[in-house]
């Protein structure tokens, strides 16, 4: 059961990244068309300003795409093994207040009537949980809790 939960959470994170990547690629294609149209119909300062605006947006979207690729690499490093001793990358952490999947910042994922928060390894939540063991207490945003189980 534990391996199925982890597999499904990884799959949900992959779907999240696929959707985000598709949106960025679509926007990049739109900018490419805009750039071609700008080249055909403009001249002078207006032409240069339009091209520069498109280039700025292109660079922002390219950076987002690179970030999604980095997140995909992080996901690929998560093994399906069950390291239940200490919280680390890929751990599913059950606490008294919430359940966390230390992976990428993909938000809330619902799996078989349970909610998990997929959080990035550099997030404040992960910083508090990393290295802890089951039954260890911790505090997030002034709220005290305890780890009940680690998968």
Task: Divide the 151 residues of the chain into consecutive groups of 10 and give the mean pLDDT of each group.
Answer: 88 97 96 77 64 92 97 89 81 96 97 94 96 96 95 91
Q: Which two tokens stand for residue 95?
A: 């606490």
Q: Looking at the structure, do residues 71 and 110 belong to the same domain, yes or no?
A: no
Check residue 144 and give its pLDDT.
96
Q: Could you tell me if residue 117 is inside a domain?
A: yes
Count of domains forming the chain: 2
Check residue 70 and give its pLDDT.
97
Strand order in the sheet with 99-103: 107-111, 114-120, 99-103, 92-95, 143-150, 137-140
Check residue 106 and give its pLDDT.
97
127 and 110 Cβ atoms separated by less than 8 Å: no
DSSP string for residues in 50-72: HHHHHHHHHHHHHHHHHHHHHHH
Q: Which of 76, 101, 117 is the last residue of a domain?
A: 76
Q: Could you tell me if residue 85 is inside a domain?
A: no
- What is the model's pTM? 0.86
92 and 151 Cβ atoms separated by less than 8 Å: yes
150 and 87 Cβ atoms separated by less than 8 Å: yes
Which of these, 129, 58, 54, lies nearest to 98 by C-alpha position?
Answer: 129
Domain that holds residue 120: 92-150
Q: Looking at the structure, do residues 65 and 16 belong to the same domain, yes or no?
A: yes
């Amino acid at each position: 059961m534990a391996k199925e939960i982890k597999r499904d959470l990884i799959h949900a994170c992959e779907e999240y990244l696929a959707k985000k990547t598709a949106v960025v690629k679509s926007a990049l294609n739109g900018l490419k068309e805009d750039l071609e149209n700008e080249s055909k119909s403009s001249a002078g300062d207006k032409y240069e300003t339009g091209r520069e605006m498109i280039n700025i947006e292109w660079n922002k979207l390219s950076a987002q795409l690179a970030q999604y690729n980095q997140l995909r690499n992080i996901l690929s490093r998560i093994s399906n093994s069950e390291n239940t001793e200490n919280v680390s990358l890929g751990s599913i952490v059950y606490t008294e207040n919430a359940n966390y999947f230390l992976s990428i910042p993909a938000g809330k994922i619902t799996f078989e009537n349970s909610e998990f928060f997929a959080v990035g390894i550099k997030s404040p939540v992960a910083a508090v949980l990393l290295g802890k063991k089951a039954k260890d207490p911790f505090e997030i945003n002034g709220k005290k809790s305890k780890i009940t189980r680690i998968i």
